[in-house]
Structure 1
Amino acid sequence: MERVVLFAVGGGGDPERHRPLLDHFEAHGHRVIAPAFDRLHPQHATWDDYLARPVGLVEALRGVGPDAEVAVIGHSIGAWAALCLAGATPWGREGKPLDVPRDSRVSRLVLYTPAAGWFAAPGALDEVRTPMLVYVGELDPVVPPSQAEVLKSAPAEVDLRVVPKAGHFSFVHVPPPGMDEDPAFDRDRFLDGMVHETFEFISSR
């Protein structure tokens, strides 16, 4: 069976910022698909801008066979899009569920600082049965750890890990300029461990 890793990049839109992670999977025989997207500016983004993420991920899988198992790794809004593909239903600010694309081939999810607030409504995660490995940063001001707790309501195996002293971009190998870490956070050591833990979780399927 074909082993496919679909990477869903965060708001910056450039998957090359995660290149060591992607290279690790390619070096171990996985087919990696990591589409780039336009930069997403949350303060100006429309629903169509957000919807373009899961739609683009589905389009990126067009060349993948129907029987393939697809593991999706996502950061921030990319993790949100990954959850959509796995069956989660986001709710808009008007208090109504939003229609998003799905993909039944999704077999594993690894989510770095997922924008989980979209799924706080009752039942929003009822169709998500895909095992999840979730990382959140203790000091993340964008996606606080408490927001990710909602993922535990899914009828799936959820391994939620709060990373001490980590922020929102601690999970990115090449963070945006000016993103300072807590002095107590060992970025290189953490990222090395994160890559291997992600690989082990996905390869254990």
Structure 2
Amino acid sequence: MTGGQGLGKAPSAAHEQVTLRDGADEVVVSVLAGHEPRWTVLFAAGAGGSPLRHLPLLTTLATAGCHVVAPHFPRLSSPTPGIEELAMRTRWLRLALNRAPEHLPVAGIGHSIGGALLLGLAGGDLWTISRDCLRAQPAARPLAKLVLFTPALQFLQAPHAVDAIQLPIQAWAASEDRITPPSQVDWLAAALAPRMPVQTHLAQGAGHFSFMDELPPHVTDPHPDRPAFLGEVAAQVTRFILA
């Protein structure tokens, strides 16, 4: 990954949590409302389910001119979730997006399995390990851009699963990632070329969780300077979305 200047500590932005309903379930959504926003950002967390582990990034985006909505998911009970869990998280993303201003274009940002879910909202088919398929679930408001952090692309590696995806993508891989290795991002770039070039970044020294400000319990991050790395990531993501 090329060098660059980090953003430093992000200025504060309004952060509230709203509660929505999905049948009998309560869905908590974090909302960070920027001043006179130009974009909506729909954020999809990974297996742990909490977008607050990425709060400085979301705050930076809100301060830069985005209206951020980020549903909170229950932690996945298995690294190989079934079709019901994928469908539930997809519904909650759609519910969260309904809370955003309707006139703004939408960019999706997802970490790990969150990235796979956003590809489903962009037209991809998601396949479980048992070969059940969650057919593409396009958002009612189409996604205009995607940012993917160490995406879990094994859910889309089936014939024609990504054929309908046509939007600009910035995809980040981590050199020390043993969960979703860099080869997955390479596969996505090859699968979408030449109709849709993917802007890829390989973060040297980073692991799967290096993109989080708050690490999961018992995780040791391999990156030698994660605060500076997260500042650079925030700067590049913000430029990509607002360009």
Distance 1:165 1:13, change over 3 A: same
Aligned residues: 203
Distance 1:20 1:122, change over 3 A: same
Match 2:207 to one of 142, 167, 174? 167
Q: Indicate yes or no: 2:107 matched with 1:71.
A: yes
Q: Which residue in the other structure is 2:51 paired with? A: 15
Show CA shifts across 1:88-140 (max 9, x none).
Answer: 11223344643242125200100001000111112111111111101111111
Q: Which residue in the other structure is 1:136 paired with? A: 173
Q: Would you say the 8 A contact 1:119–1:150 is kept in 2?
A: no
Higher strand share: 2
**What secondary structure is seen at the aligned counterpart in 2 of 1:34?**
strand
Q: Indicate yes or no: 2:238 matched with 1:199.
A: yes
- 2:60 maps to a residue whose letter is H
- 1:110 maps to a residue whose letter is V
Distance 1:89 1:43, change over 3 A: closer
Q: Which moved more, 1:150-159 or 1:186-195?
A: 150-159
Give distance in 1, aligned partners of 2:172 and 2:80: 27
Distance 1:80 1:190, change over 3 A: same
- List gaps (5 residues or longer) in structure 1: none
Distance 1:188 1:2, change over 3 A: closer
- List gaps (5 residues or longer) in structure 2: 1-36
**What secondary structure is seen at the aligned counterpart in 2 of 1:32?**
strand
TM-score (norm 2): 0.78
- 2:218 maps to a residue whose letter is G
Q: Indicate yes or no: 2:154 matched with 1:114.
A: no
- CA shift for structure 1 position 63: 3.3
CA RMSD of the aligned region, Å? 1.9
Higher CA-based Rg: 2
Match 1:150 to one of 167, 178, 187? 187
